[in-house]
Chain A
């Protein structure tokens, strides 16, 4: 996971309300809501940062070690992927700009 660049699923629409990302997944017919830390990670998934890059930011902002942050970020990214919130290998990112303000 650390070597790859996570990308949001192009059909996912997201908006932040009171520090919580509300994410709509039309291709799954589902909603997801992330808490404030999950929302921060979601915001950092921009198609250019790796899990390592994201973990560095989280470690800085949440007063934890890089190793712990990386472990948690990888677990979280795995959860996002299994919930259909990240783009698969064959999906072109940025098709619909569904990352407004997140």
Chain B
């Protein structure tokens, strides 16, 4: 009987692997609006002009269907979710349905009142997009003068309520020289900083955001031991496709929805499996949707096909959603993943070579 004490908890990694392998979704990410008070140059959202977003009641009805699917995490994202005046009604409905909430916000609207409401809501995590250590850089990336100071104050307001805040920084060529300062700023606020070098095309295939991705010279430094404090890895490690067979969790670990109610296999791969307003049985759709089954099949094939034929495939963080929007085929290697995997493979080889010389 003592086996059921918390000291005998099953490993989290094992659960995640099972979620991927058996298409047992744990997270629902819902972009509840495309409205946003920032104009980030690299944003991937593509609102459809004139199309009406779902009402609060439609979203809450949809949350009931998603709850039936068995997800525990509900990510409320956007756009900027806090631009919806009914944000807290939606979030509380999610909480009452038993979801653990994650809120992805730009922090711009978080004054003391919103921070207090957020404290009452008690999300598991709040992620605030953060773009630079200096106002000049930050405001240039958001396209909104004064956004740096206002977002910083928003983070301070959340922290004053004792809330956990992750500052999430997409690395661009405009802020690539400020990563350590951003990290130091986050730490001074009692926050964790996360960095992501992946910039994606817009969801309509427009590749203009890619012009902002960090340059090759910087990425070569980023994946060297010099930046281990930022990347949390001394050396790039190859993929391990033995525990989890699929390329990624698309159509498996996560379900994503847009403000119109389209149901997607993930936030990046925008093949709609249906509309949440029209679905009666979410479990049946998850199991039987031809779109979702096709996506899962392709994701299973990729490690055995696309990544095998790519010279640096074992170092690819390959996204079939990006591949499809950018090349028309979810199996095609696209330029930015080719470049990053080549760099990561080279850095791995450099490391092994140094190790070998040191040993001899």
Interface residues of A, Cβ cutoff 8 Å to B: 11, 13-15, 17-18, 20, 22, 24, 26-27, 29, 31-41, 58, 62, 64, 68-69, 72, 75-76, 79-80, 83, 96-101
B-side contacts of A15, CB under 8 Å: 26, 70-72, 98
Q: How many A-B residue pairs have CB under 8 A?
A: 102
Interface residues of B, Cβ cutoff 8 Å to A: 1-12, 15, 18-19, 24, 26, 67, 70-73, 92, 95-101, 122-125, 164
The answer on a CB contact under 8 Å between B124 and A24 is yes
How far does the alpha carbon of A76 sit from the alpha carbon of B8 in the complex, in Å? Answer: 11
The answer on a CB contact under 8 Å between A75 and B72 is no
B-side contacts of A80, CB under 8 Å: 6
Return 6 A-B CB contacts under 8 Å, by A number.
A15-B71, A17-B26, A17-B70, A22-B15, A22-B26, A37-B1
Return A81 CB to nearest CB of chain B, in Å: 11
The answer on a CB contact under 8 Å between B4 and A76 is yes
B-side contacts of A13, CB under 8 Å: 72, 95, 98-100, 124
The answer on a CB contact under 8 Å between A100 and B10 is no
The answer on a CB contact under 8 Å between B24 and A17 is yes
Q: What 5 additional pairs, Cβ within 8 angstroms, besides A27-B122, A76-B6?
A: A33-B12, A39-B4, A96-B95, A96-B98, A97-B96
The answer on a CB contact under 8 Å between B9 and A33 is yes
Q: A33-B12, A33-B15, A100-B97 given as contacts; is B124 within 8 A of A69 (CB)? A: no
The answer on a CB contact under 8 Å between B4 and A72 is yes
A-side contacts of B123, CB under 8 Å: 26
The answer on a CB contact under 8 Å between A18 and B1 is no
The answer on a CB contact under 8 Å between B19 and A17 is yes
A-side contacts of B96, CB under 8 Å: 96-97
A-side contacts of B1, CB under 8 Å: 37, 58, 62, 64, 68-69, 72
How far does the alpha carbon of A58 sit from the alpha carbon of B3 in the complex, in Å? Answer: 13
Return A42 CB to nearest CB of chain B, in Å: 9
The answer on a CB contact under 8 Å between B4 and A29 is no
With beta carbons under 8 angstroms apart, the residue of B4, B9, B100 that contacts A24 is B100
The answer on a CB contact under 8 Å between B6 and A72 is no
B-side contacts of A37, CB under 8 Å: 1, 3-4
The answer on a CB contact under 8 Å between B124 and A26 is yes
Return A99 CB to nearest CB of chain B, in Å: 7
CB-based closest 8 A-B pairs: A100-B98, A38-B4, A24-B100, A72-B1, A37-B4, A13-B100, A15-B72, A26-B124
The answer on a CB contact under 8 Å between B5 and A38 is yes
B-side contacts of A22, CB under 8 Å: 15, 26, 72
Return A100 CB to nearest CB of chain B, in Å: 3
The answer on a CB contact under 8 Å between B100 and A35 is no
Q: A17-B18, A62-B1 given as contacts; is B73 within 8 A of A24 (CB)? A: yes
How far does the alpha carbon of A17 sit from the alpha carbon of B15 in the complex, in Å? Answer: 8
A-side contacts of B19, CB under 8 Å: 17
The answer on a CB contact under 8 Å between B72 and A83 is no
The answer on a CB contact under 8 Å between B6 and A75 is no
How far does the alpha carbon of A31 sit from the alpha carbon of B10 in the complex, in Å? Answer: 11
How far does the alpha carbon of A32 sit from the alpha carbon of B2 in the complex, in Å? Answer: 17
How far does the alpha carbon of A15 sit from the alpha carbon of B28 in the complex, in Å? Answer: 14
How far does the alpha carbon of A79 sit from the alpha carbon of B1 in the complex, in Å? Answer: 14
B-side contacts of A24, CB under 8 Å: 72-73, 100, 124
Q: A24-B72, A37-B1 given as contacts; is B6 within 8 A of A14 (CB)? A: no
Return A41 CB to nearest CB of chain B, in Å: 6
Q: Please give me the residue from chain B that is nearest to A58 by CB atom.
A: B1
How far does the alpha carbon of A88 sit from the alpha carbon of B97 in the complex, in Å? Answer: 22
Q: A17-B24, A24-B72, A98-B98 given as contacts; is B4 within 8 A of A41 (CB)? A: yes
With beta carbons under 8 angstroms apart, the residue of A14, A34, A62 that contacts B9 is A34
